[in-house]
Structure 1
Amino acid sequence: MSLISVEQLDKIVIERMIFHVVGPEDANLVLLEEIDPGSHASFFLDRIRSSCNGIMFDFLSASPVLASLRRVESDSSRFSSETKDLAALFNGLHSGAASVGVFLVFMLLVDGNRFYAIIKYDHEEVLSYTIQEEEDVRRALIAALQSTFVRSPDALQKAAIIRLTDVGGELSIRDRVSPGKVTKYFQGFLGVRRRFQPDQLTSSLSEIAKKTARRHAADLGSAVMGQLNRRVYDAIQAQPGFDPANREPFLAAVFGPLPEDSPIRKTFDRELRNSRIENEVFEFDKAAVPRPRRKHLVTDEGIEVIYDRQYDDRIRREPNVGGGERIVIETGGVRVEDDYAEPRTRLR
């Protein structure tokens, strides 16, 4: 799910903005004052828009970020001081492998609703800033070119789009270092827990695949529909996980090759959105979709055979010379041999 819908992306307005310099060492921390993005607002809005399709998280009650943003909501004059405290906290959690960059905090307005964005951006090249001393405070002035902000997606290390609620808050998070999980230290800094766990996501994806196939049974044919449960099971067992931006391996494993304009793709994507997992990147919990306990055979003549897999060795299938096959069942005895009661026709 996206906190900010595709239709709302062009309606995002930056109300307030501040950034601080962070890095792996305490000496890297430089706390700055609030700035106006001015003519560079579109650059930052593009970065914010690119961060809106992240993994869903919810704040824990003890989250320091939640507490800080609550204080800003109650008293907007605390915006600068609260972000300085958050930058110091973030800097203290940095590991030695972290790169020097900037810690940005935005107050946003979208269709009359308040959002916040927290972004860690690496130092590189495109926009630069200078720090100016003004009456005992330091203020950042942004200039074009040189080195700091870049348009490259690789420079945007971590991002959280945040909406506060009456009971806490929800976040859409992207983490370039760990796109399928989000690094523990970023989760720890934000004080959040993932909304959907891998077992839930794996089970939901399995049901979405089956629902999509049943809706397009005529297009997929017996080759897919006759082995649908097995195809879904095998896809989940064989693949490490699912990424909506690279869903082709999963789609091909379940449905076979699909043209780009296939209605099956559209149904699958719509079902992902309906389940609010269209942006969820996750590793499969293979135990969440166990191998079906029973096997179901239906012959061309309409003869059905249903049996537990523990009796696989009691079923022999032998091809006939002229086509078709012979199915032999070895059993200790027949328990039921009765006429089959057909469903009654409804009286009109």
Structure 2
Amino acid sequence: MPRESVLSIADKEAIKIEKLIFHIILTDDINPIFLEEVKITDEQQKFFRDRLADASQGRQFIFTENNSPIKDLAEEIVNASDEDFLRISKDITSRFRTTHTSNMNDGVFIISIASIRTRKLLFLIKLDHKKVYEYKLKNNKALLEEVKNTFSEDKTAIQKVALIDINPNVVWDVLVFDRSCPSGITKFFGNFLSVIPRETESDLTKKAQSCARRWASLNKFEGINEPSAYKNKARSYLTFVDTFNSEQYIEAVIQDSDKEKQEYLRESLRNFMMEDGLYGQIFIPKKDVLTKKECKNIRQTAEGVKIEWEGSLEENNISISDIKDRQGLYKIVIKTSDIKDIQ
């Protein structure tokens, strides 16, 4: 069954560049400047590998049902010979430049085949040129000169990314990051790729609402508190932010006075989100899906007894033990001023 997972930290560290070329895109030229070869040193290989790792997350998209030229070219290029790789890279770059009719900056379009163990991925990255100045000293006076045609380690230079996985082992086809539209994709880039979002903002909001609870439920043995506490923090975060950010979400959900434990739990939740396909996705939370039903906490005992409440355990005078006693039983205590016979 296809997985929802995105690239994990271990995956990013294991990225190996198999092939890489870039072509130059200038604002005033409709035709890209095509390079025939790019030779890179070991140090430069690390630079580009780090840029691929920086770009290896984003919103999940799938190719449209209609004919998608980029999908066809992606399937062709991942196992292409060096000669065919160069030919196809030029075709993809031309399609990108022709589709991009709006404002743009000078830069390069990187096409790279990268492997992660036995998995092959296609990276398409538009990287803007960044102004860099060098200084020369003359009689203790500094003369500044602009250095053009430079690559930058500044992540803001990364403008558009499509990470394409053509294998059917994951439910998504493309991870997209689009700086012009961080929570989705610009019209031209979507048309260029022929993709649509795999999940709506409402889907992702519900997923983020339940993610912390599901993680806590599966990791009770790690000393994690009652899952509803994390669910409430996740809901609070989604209620008050305009744009979902994975690291901010993790910080909001995991707060512990024990800094070592806090970091351990945050790493655990981060890995869970990567497996769940949520990490790295940027979207605008839909507040209207955070309904009363969604915020309700429900637990059922082995005997079939259901407990339902909203808010925190403390607010409802409920306590649920995190570990079993010597008889192998959990202890649930409910204090109340009244009990009504409902059915």
Residue equivalent to 1:84: 90
The residue identity in structure 1 corresponding to 2:91 is D
Larger relative CO (CA 8 A, sep 6+): 1 or 2? Answer: 2
2: CA distance, partners of 1:298 / 1:104 = 56
2: CA distance, partners of 1:219 / 1:125 = 48
Contact 1:12 1:109 in 2 (8 A): yes
Residue equivalent to 2:288: 287
Structure 1 vs Structure 2 CA RMSD: 3.8
Identify the range of structure 1 (294-303 vs 87-96) with the bigger mean alpha-carbon deviation: 294-303
1:118 to 101, 113, 124: 124
Contact 2:108 2:126 in 1 (8 A): yes
2: CA distance, partners of 1:205 / 1:25 = 43
Is 2:72 aligned against 1:51? no
Percent of residue pairs identical: 21
Question: Structure 2 vs 1, CA of residues 114 and 213 (structure 1 numbering), >3 Å: closer, same or farther?
Answer: closer
| Structure 2 residues without counterparts, runs of 5 or longer | 133-146, 297-308, 318-333
Which has the higher Rg, Structure 1 or Structure 2? 1
Residue equivalent to 1:272: 273
Residue equivalent to 1:36: 39
Q: TM-score, normalised by structure 2?
A: 0.68
Question: Structure 2 vs 1, CA of residues 337 and 196 (structure 1 numbering), >3 Å: closer, same or farther?
Answer: closer
2: CA distance, partners of 1:158 / 1:248 = 25
1:250 Cα deviation (Å)?
Answer: 4.3
- Kindly tell me the number of residue pairs found equivalent between the two proteins: 286
2: CA distance, partners of 1:98 / 1:288 = 36
Contact 2:21 2:111 in 1 (8 A): yes
1: CA distance, partners of 2:215 / 2:190 = 34
Identify the range of structure 1 (87-96 vs 4-13) with the bigger mean alpha-carbon deviation: 4-13
Is 2:182 aligned against 1:179? yes
1:163 to 145, 162, 165: 165
Residue equivalent to 1:131: none
2: CA distance, partners of 1:199 / 1:93 = 30
Residue equivalent to 1:7: 10
1:32 Cα deviation (Å)?
Answer: 2.4
Question: Structure 2 vs 1, CA of residues 301 and 117 (structure 1 numbering), >3 Å: closer, same or farther?
Answer: closer
The residue identity in structure 2 corresponding to 1:246 is Q
Contact 2:78 2:122 in 1 (8 A): no
The aligned runs of 1:94-173 (5 Å cut-off) are 94-124=100-130, 147-165=149-167, 170-173=173-176
1:213 Cα deviation (Å)?
Answer: 6.7
Secondary structure of 2:21's counterpart equals strand
Residue equivalent to 1:196: 199
Question: Structure 2 vs 1, CA of residues 231 and 248 (structure 1 numbering), >3 Å: closer, same or farther?
Answer: closer
1:192 Cα deviation (Å)?
Answer: 1.7
Higher relative strand content: 1
